[in-house]
């Protein structure tokens, strides 16, 4: 069976603790969301779905989405799970042949193209349904690649919880790919100051 990995970038939150849309925060001269889109596209994951919600008009006017599909999450206030569900539903329609789904956020500045490529390579050489998870600070986290068989569990997520519970006790064999600095994300002004 040919292997293809579609990607979902979740970027629908309001960034209330940060006080400004984190999607548009510039790191090394590039907005975080732009950086995430570019890195995913350079990794060979395709197609790419970007889930936005809060600050939608501002984000759409500031970001070049290129070939990435914009997916609007009207229920973004529910939390992260709603964005994952909307992204998975979009991928089921727009990437029906994809055997894997790369899930990532826009606010992990240490994610590199090489890291994403390593994950995809490990997924492509699998012989069974497996999960590829990034590891950092002693835990499994995103970016992660879920097999098609995981869609039902992803669609069942609720509230402001992401996919971490599925990564800690996966129903599928898992392969871990270390990501140095993967625990660094940007939720508060202090986080942003440390990154810069």
- pLDDT of residue 169 exceeding 80, the answer is no
Mean pLDDT of 150-171: 87
Domains of the chain, by residue range, sit at 5-195
* Confidence (pTM): 0.93
Domain 5-195, what architecture? Alpha-Beta Complex (3.90)
For residues 93 and 19, which has the higher predicted lDDT (pLDDT)?
A: 93
Rounded distance between C-alpha atoms, residue 99 and residue 46, angstroms: 11
- At 150 the pLDDT is 92
- At 1 the pLDDT is 46
Mean pLDDT of 90-117: 95
- pLDDT of residue 195 exceeding 90, the answer is no
């Amino acid at each position: 069976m040919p292997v293809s990995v579609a990607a979902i970038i979740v970027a629908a939150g309001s960034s209330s603790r940060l006080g400004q849309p984190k999607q548009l925060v510039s790191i090394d001269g590039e907005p975080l969301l732009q950086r995430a889109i570019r890195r995913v596209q350079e990794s060979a994951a395709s197609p790419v779905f970007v889930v936005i919600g809060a600050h939608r008009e501002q984000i759409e006017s500031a970001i070049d989405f290129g070939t990435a599909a914009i997916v609007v999450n009207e229920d973004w206030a529910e939390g992260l799970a709603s964005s994952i569900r909307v992204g998975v539903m979009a991928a089921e329609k727009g990437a029906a042949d994809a055997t894997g789904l790369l899930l990532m956020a826009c606010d992990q500045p240490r994610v590199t193209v090489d890291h994403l490529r390593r994950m995809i390579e490990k997924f492509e050489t699998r012989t069974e349904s497996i999960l590829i998870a990034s590891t950092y600070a002693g835990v499994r986290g995103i970016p992660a690649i879920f097999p098609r068989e995981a869609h039902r569990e992803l669609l069942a997520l609720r509230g402001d919880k992401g996919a971490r519970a599925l990564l800690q006790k996966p129903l599928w064999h898992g392969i871990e790919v270390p990501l140095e600095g993967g625990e660094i994300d940007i939720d508060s002004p202090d986080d942003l100051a440390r990154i810069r």
